[in-house]
Chain A
Amino acid sequence: MVHVLYIEDESEIGNWVAKDLTERGYEVTWLQSGEGIEKYVLTVDIVILDVMLPGLDGFSIGKRIKKENGALPILMLSARTAVEDKIEGLNFADDYLTKPFHPDELAARVEVLLRRYQKNEDILELQHLTIYTKDMRMVERETGVEIQLTGKQYHLFQYFVRHLNQILTKEQLYEGVWGERYFEGDKTLMVHIRYLREKIEKYPAKPSIIETIRGIGYRLKI
């Protein structure tokens, strides 16, 4: 079970979020200040951190956590919405969500971070496919046949899985997978997506796993 460390001084909000996350299947440890976080830093899977706290503020606590465990994702959850605050938070944290927020949005962002850090369950059911995200294996559920991808297809699919449900522009995809600057009109990405669809889609002519969002980019949606 994914273990969430949640630090929030407002008891009403803290209770609500902790309860909601627990109902969603997470193990939640809720603290009202940064005191005593040391014993959780190496054991939890993700930290949700408020900024305005008694004693040390959320920015200082977050920096300390990242210093001790750089592989621990941190989501800042704050009522401070100024650009400067967001920039300061995102200097070390992985995401910044402002209050008031919808619990669905919080849960979605937690999921994205867990996937990015590969901390959640490693099995993903995607239409007719079962994907083992930790070792990026893909099996067709009905036949049990493992789908083999080439190097670039593998990296492309891995990038999609890590950004599940997010719309990725051509530039983001190309630069994320190829590590080079994308130039308008380059067909490389389109060609690779076509090959990838041929391998993973049931009907490649009518793709439903990798969606094309016209004029914007692509999305792998559950």
Chain B
Amino acid sequence: MRKFFQSLLARYMFLILIAISIVQIAYIGIALLMSGVANNDGELYQGSNDENENAIEEKWHKEANIMQGLSSEEIEQHFKKWKHHYPQASMFWVNENGMLTKQIDVKEQLPLEWSPAFTAKFIKERYGGDPFTVIAFVGKDEMNGFIVLEIPRSEFYPPLSKIYDKYGGILFFGVIFIILLFIAVSFLFFRGIRKRLLQLQDAMEIRDVDGLPIQINVKKKDEIGQLEKTFNQMVFELKESKQREQKEEQLRRELIANLSHDLRTPLTKIRAQTYSIAKEDLSVDGKKAIKALEVSVVNIDRLIENLMSYTLLMASKYKFESKEIDVIRYVRECLASWYPVFEKEGFEFEVELLPFEKNKWMVDPIWLGCIMDNLLQNVLRHAKSGVYICVRTESSDLYDAIVISDRGKGMKNDSNEAGAGIGLTIVDMMVRGMKLDWDMASSEDGTTIKIKKYK
């Protein structure tokens, strides 16, 4: 239950309840306000309009009856009493001589002398008109003159209409204020949620030094808080997993390093021995045997290297860091280091590296170096008879390519995949790993290999 009250759902339901309650509260509030105002607004507001008009008419006639024989001052006293009761009312008295004798708060211009014709016209105009007018003969006798009461018709309107007229502005702005208040509260509520969700999104996007997202502070226990907590748990598990992976990677590296050491150390010893023996005075056959031993040492060394590279590539553990490099420059530097080896073997070394339209290739330089080493080593091992190597660039509408060709006896199988040896398998995996392509054409006149980058 406590959890429910801490939840966003509960808070949102509370907000909706308040929103609905505001309508009810406003309704009750207005009803109370009206009844209060109506109570304070005197008799006029009690009963219906007709009842009020009749009552006032009756009272005014009674008042006229008792006015017979009263002095002008006394009549004025009566008028003031009525004025006190009906502040909006106006009154006047025309005496028995048809003279306007007394008037209170009359806004229109009245004649001082009232002829029968004017009186008739006045009565005709005021009948059923606005203001509400009551004409009563003083002392029930038309010879004593008459008194007139005028009250604006608006005074007889229903209380709601009157209150609306009086307090309409306040009511309007009050309603607008309540709506704005609800919008503001809703806005703040959803802004708070949005802010926290965005913070969570940021935390998911920001990476720590180890490449994993960073943990976040959980401040509330609502649904987003639960999500943050789960996210932190996930980050923690990822970190654990990463550490485990790093540990395994370290173990793997150590294993490979030790294996490499254990295999290469005896090879080095063999080389040391053959080197020492080669210095002795040997027969022709002895020298041949030593030379064969040295070649075998080099081949085994290369095989070990290739096997390790192949194992790493197959397990997707070979370090790959792609970056933009000037491929022409890189290949030229690679050839500079290989040139002396081919020179020693008596090769004709032809280089024609012309700039491509775009010299920058997105590759891992170590992988590209490994590919070049493998291909050049292959030429050295398998195409020695041709004593020729050419490295050049080639461009077409579709691709740019580095082309390596020799004049050896060719490979029996020109497939990239099968029977091409572990070295070429590594070349294939690395070329495809860098989103490049390659093809090989081999005949008895030589082999040509193209490393292509499609445009």
Contact = CB atoms under 8 A, between A and B. Distances in A.
A179 B298 CA distance: 39
B275 A103 contact: yes
A17 B271 CA distance: 11
A127 interface: no
B127 to A, nearest CB: 109
A213 interface: yes
Interface of B: 253, 256-258, 260-261, 263-265, 267-272, 275-276, 297-298, 301, 305, 308, 319, 329, 332-333, 335-337, 339-340, 350-353, 355, 366, 391
A213 B353 CA distance: 13
A85 interface: yes
B257 A85 contact: yes
Given A16-B272, A82-B260, 7 more contacts: A17-B272, A79-B264, A85-B257, A100-B297, A100-B298, A101-B268, A171-B329
B264 A12 contact: no
A22 interface: no
A150 B27 CA distance: 102
Given A169-B332, A215-B353, A100 B270 contact: yes
Nearest to A16: B272
A217 interface: yes
A155 to B, nearest CB: 20
Contact of B265 (A99, A168, A216): A99
Nearest to A80: B257
Contacts of A167: 336-337, 339-340
Contact of B272 (A13, A52, A171, A172): A13
Given A16-B272, A79-B268, A216 B336 contact: yes
Contacts of B256: 82
Interface in A5-60: 10, 12-13, 16-17, 20, 52
A187 interface: no
Contact of B260 (A20, A80, A214): A80
A165 B339 CA distance: 11
Nearest to A79: B264
A16 B336 contact: no
Contacts of B333: 169, 171-172
A160 to B, nearest CB: 14
A79 B352 contact: no
Contacts of A142: none
A166 B343 CA distance: 13
B267 A217 contact: no
Contact of B264 (A99, A184, A215): A99
B261 to A, nearest CB: 4
